[in-house]
Structure formats: C-alpha cells, structure tokens
Amino acid sequence: MEQSKDDSKSLWKLLSPHKPSVKSFVYLVVLVIASTSLELVLPLYSSYLVDSISSDGLETIIIVGLVAIVLITAVFEAMLGWFGGRTGHQISFRLRFSLIGRLLHSQSQSLDLEHSAELSARVVNDSKEVKNVLAEDLIGLLSGVVSLFAVITIMFVLDWRLTLVLVSCVVAGFVLITPIALMMNNIGKATQAAEANLLKYVTEWLRYGKLIKSHNAGSQLHQQSNELLNECFVQEMRATKVLALIGPIANLVLMISMIAILAFSAYWLKQGSITLGTVTAFLLYLFGLAFPLMSMAMFFSNLNKAMGAASRLSEINKLPLEHNDAPAVLEQVSTLAVKNLSFVRNDKYILKDISCQFSAEGLTIMLGESGSGKSTLLNQFLGFYPETHASVFINGKALSHYNLHSVRQVIAWVDQEPKLLHASIRQNLTLGLDNTISDKHILDVLVSVGLQSWLQRINQNLEQIVSEQAHQFSGGEKQRFAIARAILRQAKVLLLDEPTSALDSRNKTELMALLRRLATEMHVIMISHHRELIQPQDDIIEIADGEIISSAIDSSASLAESK
C-alpha cells in the first residue's frame, strides 16, 4: 500500500508541470456534463414513451424527439472523445519533450551509468502507458463518475427500492475488482523493464551486426533473444490474466443486477407499486451504467500500470543537470591547464594529482599506452565532469568561471571513432549551429580537409542521409569529416583522440599533414601512442598510469629513442 502511494505521488509530480490549462479543463468538464446529461435523458424519455403507449399507438413527435436526442448525444460524445484525446496527447507531448530535454542536458557521468536504449525505452514506451491513461481512460473515468452519481440520484427519485438493489450489486462489483486492478502496478513496472531490456539488446545486436556475423554468434544471440522475449511474454500474460478477470466480473455484476431488478420489478408490478415505464428506465440505466463501470475499472487498472511507469520516468527527472549559468563567455584561448587534478571512477584513480599546461598554438601530442588516462584528461576541458571544474583552467581561470556552451563552441572534440547522426550530411556538419551556413562555405571547408574525391562520390549532395549501416566513409574520410565539423564551428582548439589509429601509412601521413597545417591557425592537441609521428617542433606530454611522466620533452631525443 505504501509503495502504491509513493507511485501515485510520482505520477502526480511527473504530470503536474504539464497539466492542461484551466480553460481546457473547463471545456472538458462542460463536454462531459453535456454528453452525460444527454445519455441520462434517453432512459427517462424512453420511460415516458412506454407509458404513453395507447390503443392509438404513439405520436410521431415523440419518436422524432427520441431520434433527435440520440443524434445529438452521438455528436457530443464524438466531440468529447476528440477533445479529451487531444488534451491527453498534449500532456504526453509536453512530458516527452521535458524528458528528452532532461536527458540531453544531464551530466555525462550520470548517463554513463545507464544504457542509452533503456533510457530511450522509458521515454517512448513508459510514457505511452501514461499517455493511454490520459488520452483514453481519463474521459471514461470522468464520464463514469458523473454518470454513476447522476444515475443513482435519478433512480433514487424514480424508485428508491430498485436503487438500493442496484447499488448493492455495484458495490459488490467494486469490492471484487479493486484488489485485482491494484495488481497492475507491479505488473506494469515489470513489463516495462522487460521490454526496455529487450530493446537494449536488440539495438546493440543491430548496431554491431558485422561483428556478430564475423564471430558466428547469430544463433547464440538468437537463442538469448528467446529468453528476453519469454520474460516479456510472462509479464504480458500476467497483465492479460488481470484484464481477463476484470471484464467477466463486470459482466457478472451487470447480469446479477439485471436479474435482481427483474425479479423485484415483477413482484412490485404485480402489487401495482411500480409502472412498466419505470422498470424500462431502470433497465436502460443499468445497461447505460455498464460502459461507465467498465471504463472506471479499466481506468484504475491502467492507472496502476501508469503509476509503475511513472516511477521509472521519475528516475530520469532525478538525473542532475549540467549547470550553464556561469556569466563569463569564452571567445579566445591563450592557455589550457590542469592543476592538482585527480579523477576517480568506481573507487579507482584514472588520473592522479596531475598538473600540466598546454600552449595555445601549434601541435601538442599526448603519448601513452591505452588506458593510461589520455582521453580522460582531454575530456576535462569540455566540462563533462563537474567535480573537476575547479582543477581545470582556461586562460588562467577555472572552468567553472565560464559558460559551458561557449567553452564547447571554441574547443572541438574529434573522437577516435567519430560519431555521426542518422541525419543529412549538412545536419551532421552543422550540428549545434544555425542553418544560415551556405552550401558553398560547407563545400569549401570539406575541400580544405582533403575530401574532394569523397564529394565527387556523393555528387556534392549535402542532403544525403548518413546511415550507420551504409559505408559512406572510409576511416580517414570519417576523421576528415569530423575535423571539417570542428572548422565550421570556428573552434580555437581541436582535441583529437587517436585520429590515426585505424589508418594505413598513406592516410596517416596525409592526416598528419592536415593537422600540422591546421596547427598554424588553431591549437591542436592529439592523443597517440605512435612516437614516429613526432617532429622536432611538436610539444610532447607523456602520461602513464594516470600520471604525467614527462612534459614538453625534447622531440629529437624522443625520435632517437624510438629508432
């Protein structure tokens, strides 16, 4: 019970910032009352119609009136369904927009602990459970509540005895259905977790399809998918069993209510204390209550699923955001430095009390074996780790002094395997920039980094979509493409992580020539473990086991050692 209360609070807290306007809520209530009132008029009108039957038959005007009420009721129900669904979808839209924004602006180290596909599943699938309750079930609840109280009031006026019979049956139905509906809370959580786990693995398998094929792992992973699907199946069947019980119980309550009303009505008709029209109205109200009661039961059942999903979505809202409210804007870079910087992950030192300074011009090569902490050190300058901002200095001031947007505008990062989005070539190149950059400027930059032949291959089509499955780039071309992206954002410092690691000798030589040319216009810091790339004019920093073992070493001596 305590868990259910916590999940209910989570759902309300999640939806509260996105609730509809007062105006929309008033419209919704008016439509609910109007459509429900028209539905309630029908049984009363039918009662009047039955009691008006005479030997001369029925007056035409009475039949016309009944048809008119039916048509008007249908129109208002359609308006209510559309407006209610629209309101629910708008809330869902704002909720998803908020969640995606939270993920995009959360601190990197928080996201590193989660699988991206699992987080995506929460935003898409878990929020869908919430949307279904808002867009579909909420209208049924509002109509059901209004109908229930109005019908019971009208019935009580018509005949309090039959009303007591009906209320007793309805209460018995809720007593049976409520504990079953509450079971959907934990089932909803387990179902969403199982589906998120399935999506996580399938996403990875498709992304690394060639790796899987090259290792003949297809059958093995296919068998693993059977286990993942089975977990989804088990949880879905748990939900199906619950829903399968709710429907028959509601029908059972309806049938018992009808039998009870008919039995008592027959007795009181014989006594003459009730009219046939009243009995007809009661039966119509009974069938009219069946749908609201079912809707209310489904609402509470799905609400429990939504509360389970909300507890998972609330975890996204708890992710700490990056702070971009520092006033200072970074425009130029004269020096980069770290002082007494230590970086710990999983109780292990990645960097140990490092202090060093990078010059603001030329090429700096950071040497070290894999796992020595080179990439982690360069990542510090992009502000991914708030706990080290006080130990990172740009132009002599701590990183916390600067607005992170401006820092990332002037310091560009090219990963060892540059990341490309499933978007057009133009969108990938102008990532984070406005759309005013001309095609000519983009093409000139691509030519300047040596991608002439690649441009000819794609017919200079900047709108072509980049796909992870299509081989549109060689290793060297992808590196040059990422460098072009950095040039377009007018970066002052270019950080590169092992840019030559996957290149052959010819491409390696050409890329190093490009980097040395760029180093005359901006400061280039690259990570490598190849000493043969060093030239006498280069600045050198060597790192091992998270510690700097030499800085600005004599390049010619390094070359001699490597030979």
Domains plus CATH for the chain? Answer: 2-317 (1.20.1560.10), 336-562 (3.40.50.300)
pLDDT of residue 369: 84
Mean confidence (pLDDT) of the chain: 82
pLDDT digits (tens, 9 = 90+) for 296-315: 666 776 777 777 777 778 88
Name the band, by pLDDT with cuts 50, 70 and 90, for residue 479.
confident
Token pair recorded at residue 87:
């309101």
Per-residue pLDDT averaged across 410-435, rounded? 87
Per-residue pLDDT averaged across 278-304, rounded? 72
Spatial contact of 542 and 549, defined as CB atoms under 8 Å apart: yes
pLDDT digits (tens, 9 = 90+) for 334-363: 889 999 999 988 778 889 999 988 876 789
Spatial contact of 75 and 82, defined as CB atoms under 8 Å apart: no
Residue 394 pLDDT greater than 90, yes or no: yes
Percent of the chain, pLDDT > 70? 90
Residue 559 pLDDT greater than 60, yes or no: no
Question: Which residues, 6+ apart, have CB-to-CB distance to 396 below 8 Å?
Answer: 335, 337
Q: Longest Cα pair distance anywhere in the chain, in angstroms?
A: 121
DSSP secondary structure, 316-339, as one string: HHTSPBPP----B-----S-EEEE
pLDDT digits (tens, 9 = 90+) for 493-508: 999 998 887 778 888 8
pLDDT digits (tens, 9 = 90+) for 102-159: 888 888 878 777 778 778 888 887 787 787 777 767 777 777 777 777 777 877 887 8
pLDDT of residue 495: 93
Distance CA 248, CA 528 (A): 69
pLDDT of residue 363: 92
Burial 57-83 (b: 16+ CB within 10 A, else e): eeeeeeeeebeebeeebeebbeebeeb
Residue 167 pLDDT greater than 60, yes or no: yes
Residue 558 pLDDT greater than 50, yes or no: no
Percent of the chain, pLDDT > 90? 16
pLDDT of residue 230: 93
HSE toward the beta carbon, residue 46, CA cutoff 13 A:
18
Distance CA 312, CA 315 (A): 5
Residue whose structure tokens are 């983009």: 442
What is the phi/psi pair of residue 330, to 5°? -90, 125
Residue 557 pLDDT greater than 70, yes or no: no
Name the band, by pLDDT with cuts 50, 70 and 90, for residue 411.
very high
Give the lowest-confidence range in 390-399, 441-450, 452-461, 526-535: 526-535
Report in angstroms the alpha-carbon separations of 382 from 191, 338, 378, 386. 38, 12, 8, 10
